[in-house]
Structure 1
Amino acid sequence: MYHYTESGLENIYLKNGFVVTKEDGEEFVNFTNFDGIQQAIAIAICTQKKWMSSAQLRFLRKEFNLSQTGLGQLIYCDRQSIARWEKGEIEIPHLADVMLRALYLESIDKESHVSLTIKSLADAEIADMHSKICLEEHKGEWKVITA
């Protein structure tokens, strides 16, 4: 078993899916499917039958590829609250815990509108939040277009 501390979590162990090599007296670990490991950990966090820890929240935020500010915008919360949750200074509100789990599980469905929204928010700048939205009507249906 390999103690997978690279995740930032203390309780993750890998039975397989890694190769340990030695070079010049140093050990190096290579993973056969790094993204798959990360996703499996996130799913385990989302499906566990206990409230999320601060480290698990940080892990999920990073899996979303969001800053604390970005995650705060996603769940309508300020950056300071996210930082305090991640530091364990205050308890993660149960509603935020449930929402983050649901958002993550929905986000791994590549065809999901939630997934597309989260990906676009991860790359968005605050200034982009006030940019123009252009719409075009065609045969009774409205669509967003590039200006």
Structure 2
Amino acid sequence: MTLYHFTECGLDNVWLVNGYNEIDTAYGKAYSVTAADELLREIAIQVARKPGRLTGKEFRYLRVHMRLSQAAMAKVQGVSEQNVSLWERHGKIPKANDTLLRLYFLAHASGDESVRSAFDRIMTVERLVNQKIVATSGRKGWRFKVEEAKKDDDVAKASA
């Protein structure tokens, strides 16, 4: 029996016994995974339930599965974005933060609407931080448009 090392999920410790097809192509072997979305969700649940501390890659896998940016995860965890980045790169996640992520993820995966709603609010705030409101005066009064802010946008300063 040949196991398939499923590194495409972003983790180094996932092997498939079956549920995949090996395809010969002009460029070599390719693999197709059956019900990939379901597999990825189940991998995330198994990662959240596993004994022992999460690795940095596992922490990132759960965060990404919940569709949270590093900045949003930092807010949820009560730490800096740099902390989250370091945990994901080096895997030295404090036990309390490891546990907190697992609890958030399992509540999210079970469909807990209060958790999903909280994450949606956090991500909305993240998106709003990077926007600017552009006001234009016209014959019918002011009109407003929200645009994506760029770091190099010039900001006109009002003189007193």
What is the TM-score of this pair, normalised by structure 1?
A: 0.76
Higher mean displacement: 114-123 or 31-40: 114-123
- Aligned equivalents of 1:67, 1:93: Cα separation in 2: 19
Matching residue of 2:13: 11
The answer to whether structure 1 residue 72 and structure 2 residue 62 are counterparts is: no
Query: Does the CA-based 8 Å contact 1:109-1:115 persist in structure 2?
Result: no
**1:26 CA displacement:** 2.2
- Aligned equivalents of 2:127, 2:98: Cα separation in 1: 24
CA-atom RMSD in angstroms = 1.9
Bigger Rg, structure 1 or 2: 2
The answer to whether structure 1 residue 127 and structure 2 residue 109 are counterparts is: no
Query: Does the CA-based 8 Å contact 1:110-1:116 persist in structure 2?
Result: no
Write out aligned runs for 1:96-111 (5 A): 96-111=97-112
Matching residue of 1:62: 64
Partner-residue secondary structure (3-state), 1:91: coil
CA deviations on 1:65-110 (whole Å, 9 max, x unpaired) are 122111112222110000111111x721111111100111110123
- Aligned equivalents of 2:38, 2:124: Cα separation in 1: 22
Partner-residue secondary structure (3-state), 1:27: strand
Matching residue's letter, 2:95: H
**1:125 CA displacement:** 2.5
Matching residue of 2:156: none
Larger RCO (CA under 8 A, 6+ residues apart): 1
Matching residue of 1:115: 116
| Compared CA separation, residues 3 and 123, structure 1 to 2 (3 A) | farther
Partner-residue secondary structure (3-state), 1:22: strand
Identity of aligned residues (%): 25
**1:61 CA displacement:** 1.3
**1:124 CA displacement:** 4.4
Higher mean displacement: 39-48 or 113-122: 113-122
| Compared CA separation, residues 40 and 77, structure 1 to 2 (3 A) | same
Matching residue's letter, 2:67: N
Count of residue pairs the alignment pairs up: 127
Matching residue of 2:87: 85
Query: Does the CA-based 8 Å contact 1:64-1:104 persist in structure 2?
Result: yes
Unpaired segments ≥5 residues, structure 1: 129-147
